[in-house]
Amino acid sequence: MATIKFHESDGAARTSFGELPDGHFEIETEDGRCIRSKPALKVREEMALSECIAADTRLNPVWVLWATVACCVTHIDGEAVRMPTSKLQVEALVDRIGDEAMRTLLVRYRSNCEVREARVLARAKN
């Protein structure tokens, strides 16, 4: 199982859950791979993801959720990851990340969604 690991390299102090000051976070898998992810896709990135997959796939919420989590990954072992431009590239990225890390990233992604939703609701009450 992938775990959150704390780092202090690059002069950036990490906070809880391996977070970086820019909102990104890192996980380390049991086999020692370090995967860096951002908390969510930007609107334009969501649009690009939707554009690169087939219309019938867009209707599959499970596929879209896993694809979104994978597309939030920015680095694997320090190597930058480019945003996929096709369904095959999305699937290749998921394979590269691996099931163990994808499940850990999904938990973190859902947590980030809950935090964002709570902030929106709090603002709406004011």
Query: What span, in angstroms and rounded, lies between the C-alpha atoms of 21 and 125?
Result: 28
Cα distances (Å, whole numbers) of residue 70 to 90, 108, 117, 120, 122: 7, 12, 21, 25, 29
Q: What is the SS3 assignment for 58?
A: helix
Whole-model pTM? 0.76
User: Percentage of residues in the chain with pLDDT exceeding 70?
Assistant: 78
Q: What is the pLDDT of residues 65-114, one digit of tens each?
A: 999 999 999 999 999 999 999 999 999 999 999 999 999 999 888 877 66
Q: Do 39 and 72 form a contact (C-beta atoms < 8 A)?
A: yes
What pairs with residue 76 in β-bridges? 35, 79
